[in-house]
Structure 1
Amino acid sequence: MPTLVIANKCYSSWSLRPWLLMKQLGVAFDEVTIPLDLPDTKEKVLKHSPAGKVPILIDGDATVWESIAIMEYVGDALGAPVWPQDRKARAMARSVAAEMHAGFFALRNACPMNLGRKYAQKDRGEAVARDVARFSEIVGQARESFGAGGPFLFGAFSAADAMYAPLVTRLDTYSIPLDAATRAYVDAILSLPAFQEWRSAALKEEWVVDADEVDEEPIENYRKAA
């Protein structure tokens, strides 16, 4: 059985991506958690991968790092349907997944993933607004062209949805206004049983990563409630 090495569920957006995909697609795996921002974090991660970053998938003598590479491996080696079957849908899914990997920096930097808090709506700047608008555009185009088979970007859940799941959590955490179609997609991701399992575990964690705690008073503190 493969092993997925991840970081804190409350904060680790990159860990969430392959974990959510594998869980949602029914791929069995063991997991190892290495908490972020501790004195021995880097040392522990380097024992599993020379890149020094999580997530990492270990399958026998194969070691795979970077979320997209892990997802591709899950499809190639483990036989999971990680991408849409339709060629045009698959091409778009891979394109938007790569766009997520390489972009949306304003939103990612201004609104760190934090499943333990909810913050009030406020203006978070033009660059963040542009990222949100681009995400809504992706949702609209994908859903209109290929979304007839289900509530996700390309109907059935795919690696593209897993790539955008951490962005979805940010939109919810920071109370960012959304159009109806984007809100429906966000709700579909947040209501996934696999995501609910991840979030439940996140709220039980005791680690705090100061760099991912914004200097704002939350309107909800879910970890304290849990």
Structure 2
Amino acid sequence: MPLLVIGNKNYSSWSLRPWLLLRHFGVAFDELRLNLDTPEFFEQIGRWSPTRSVPVLHDEGLVLPDSLAICEYANERWLDGRGWPADLRARAVARAAVAEMHSGFRALRLQLPMNCRRVPDGYRWDEKAQADIDRIQQLWGQLRREHGQGGDFLCGAFGIVDAMFAPVAMRFIGYGVPMDATARAWVDALTALPALREWRDAAAIEPERIEATDALAAT
């Protein structure tokens, strides 16, 4: 059985992405959770990941780090292509959006780290993070307008593009980011997924804490 090595569910945004895709589509896998930013993590991670980071997938001798690479592999190995839209144009723009998510939005990542247990408290971010927030909602709106027919997700049916943006939804919820109607509807659809509910329920009862993330609050 494949093994997916992940970090804490409360904090590990990169781990959420392939985990959610696999769980939503019913792919059976074993899970190994390592506690981020601990001596134990740094002692153990080299056994599992050549990049010394999570997530990493082990499958029949293949060792595959990187969330997007895992999603692409899963799409070909188990999903029969269902991870991407069937339409060529929709598939192209979904891939472009995923690429932008994978490599960009640094201010959002730094100032609004994922914390699934977080509730809004008036904490605010600077204009660079707000520019990331605005661009993300613009992307979501474009995908929904042009390719969202036939379902509640960014390109209609749930797929890789939704999984890759799922940690952003967790950030928007936890930090009380104002959302337009399109963004709110997509976030509501995403959080209704049984797989995401399972992840959030597990995150809620994890005992570990990352102080630097938990300490972010309104000043």
- What is the TM-score normalised by the length of structure 2? 0.95
Asked if the contact 2:123–2:216 (Cα under 8 Å) also holds between the matched residues in 1, the reply is: no
Aligned to 1:106: 107
Aligned to 1:29: 29
Aligned to 2:201: 200
How far apart in 2 are the matches of 1:125 and 1:61? Answer: 45
Aligned to 1:120: 121
For residues 1-56 of structure 1, what are the alpha-carbon distances to aligned partners after superposition, in whole Å with 9 as ceiling and x for unaligned?
A: 21100010000000000000111111111101111111121221110121100001
Aligned to 1:56: 56
Q: Percent identity?
A: 46
- What is the TM-score normalised by the length of structure 1? 0.93
Aligned to 1:134: 135
Aligned to 1:154: 155
Asked if the contact 1:121–1:176 (Cα under 8 Å) also holds between the matched residues in 2, the reply is: no
Query: How big is the shift at 1:142?
Result: 0.3
Asked if the contact 2:25–2:79 (Cα under 8 Å) also holds between the matched residues in 1, the reply is: no
Tell me which moved more, 117-126 or 4-13: 117-126
Aligned to 2:68: 68
Tell me which moved more, 118-127 or 149-158: 118-127
Residue 191 (1) aligns with residue 192 (2): yes
How far apart in 2 are the matches of 1:165 and 1:57? Answer: 19
Q: Secondary structure at the match of 1:4?
A: strand
Tell me which moved more, 205-214 or 153-162: 205-214
Residue type at the aligned position of 2:28: A
| Count of aligned positions | 218
Q: How does 1:211-222 map to 2 (within 5 A)?
A: 211-216=212-217
Gaps of 5+ in 2: none
For residues 86-136 of structure 1, what are the alpha-carbon distances to aligned partners after superposition, in whole Å with 9 as ceiling and x for unaligned?
A: 111111111101100111111111111001121224542111111111111
How far apart in 2 are the matches of 1:158 and 1:128? Answer: 26
Q: CA RMSD in A?
A: 1.4
Q: Secondary structure at the match of 1:44?
A: helix
Asked if the contact 1:97–1:160 (Cα under 8 Å) also holds between the matched residues in 2, the reply is: yes
Q: How does 1:168-187 map to 2 (within 5 A)?
A: 168-187=169-188
Q: How does 1:69-88 map to 2 (within 5 A)?
A: 69-80=69-80, 81-88=82-89
